Amino acid sequence: MHKWPKRLLLSSLALPLASLPAMAAEKIISPTHLWNEIWQEVFYDLLLIGIPFGLAAVYMMIRYRAKSPGQVGEAVNLSPAAAWGWILIPCALFLADDLLLFGKGWTLWNVQRVVPENSVEVKVTGHQWYFDFDYGKGVTDSELVVEVGKPVVLRMTSDDVIHSFGMTEYRLKEDLIPGRITYLWFYPDKPLVTEVDCMEFCGTGHSQMATKVKALPTAEYQAWLGKHKSASAGDLKFASQSDGAASK
Ligand SMILES: [Cu+2]
């Protein structure tokens, strides 16, 4: 029991510092992984805090209920030390937990905004009401196809109104804004076929604005690439937009 606050404090201080070597190291720490970790942490916090508080509330409702209609309650007299203890100890516990979550959030933000150097770039354009993927060298598709084990950076813009590119399974979402290029990166670490949805209401066809993200093993990915090469003449529009826009 007495080890907990120290452990919480140490890990909350260590996490922001730990993010720097983690980014430099070869092993890829993906935003997806960190989002899952934070969600788990919040979930366990809610359970650890919610269950004892709920049980205590039920206990007190039964134990201290009025036993006759005219009964008047009695205040419990606490010594000053006990009163301060009741204020400071819960505050310290909750603050330690907040610091831990802050540390994890800080790490996640840094990981999510710093694109790994060897990332494969795909240009994404949002239209009313579909997404367009440009893989370079004339390869385009209406689905996002990526290779397992290779980080992917999406450079994104919109042709008309604001859309939002949301990959629930990868826990990521970023707006597509006309005249601007936004980005997000993710790491497909296993074969997976999942959905991309538009997550910003963008007109009457918004609800149909969905497509697939396919993370394929290398052989399948190469086969797909071979099939799509020279199938399209390429899209020069994106290049002309990126010349004028301030890219991040
Ligand atoms: Cu949309």
Model pLDDT, residue 26: 60
Helices (H) and strands (E) in the chain, counts: 5, 10
The runs of H, that is alpha helices, within 75-191 are 80-113
Q: Where are the alpha helices (DSSP H) in the chain?
A: 4-24, 31-63, 80-113, 218-228, 236-244
Q: Which residues, chain by chain, have CB under 5 Å from ion ligand 1?
A: 163, 198, 202, 209
- Find the 245 Cα to ligand 1 centroid distance in Å: 21
CA–CA separation, 192 vs 37, rounded Å? Answer: 20
Q: Please name the residue that has the structure tokens 């992984």.
A: 33
Instruction: Tell me the CATH architecture of domain 120-244.
Output: Sandwich (2.60)
Read off the pLDDT of residues 34-57 as tens digits, 9 standing for 90 and up.
999 999 999 998 998 899 999 999
Distance from the alpha carbon of residue 157 to the mean position of ligand 1, in angstroms: 11
How remote is the CA of residue 118 from the centroid of ligand 1, in Å? 29
Whole-angstrom CA distances from 53 to 40, 124, 160 are 20, 48, 50
Task: List the structure tokens of 228.
Answer: 């799509």
Measured in Å, residue 204 CA sits from the centre of ligand 1 at: 10
Give residue for tokens 């093993």: 217
Per-residue pLDDT for 4 more than 80? Answer: no
pLDDT digit string, tens, across residues 189-245 = 999 999 999 999 999 999 999 999 999 999 999 999 988 875 554 444 444 444 444
Q: How far is the CA of 154 from the centre of ligand 1 (A)?
A: 16
The C-alpha torsion from 45 through 48 and 51 to 55, rounded to 10°, is -130
185-200 per-position pLDDT tens digit: 999 999 999 999 999 9
- CA–centroid distance, 173 to ligand 1, in Å, is 12
pLDDT value at position 76? 82
Angle at 162 between CA 161 and CA 167, to 5 degrees: 130
- Of residues 70 and 26, the one with the higher pLDDT is 70
Determine the distance separating the centroid of ligand 1 and the alpha carbon of 124, expressed in angstroms: 12
Its pTM stands at: 0.72
**Cα(first)–Cα(last) distance of the chain, in Å?**
47
- Where along the chain do the CATH 2.60.40.420 domains lie? 120-244
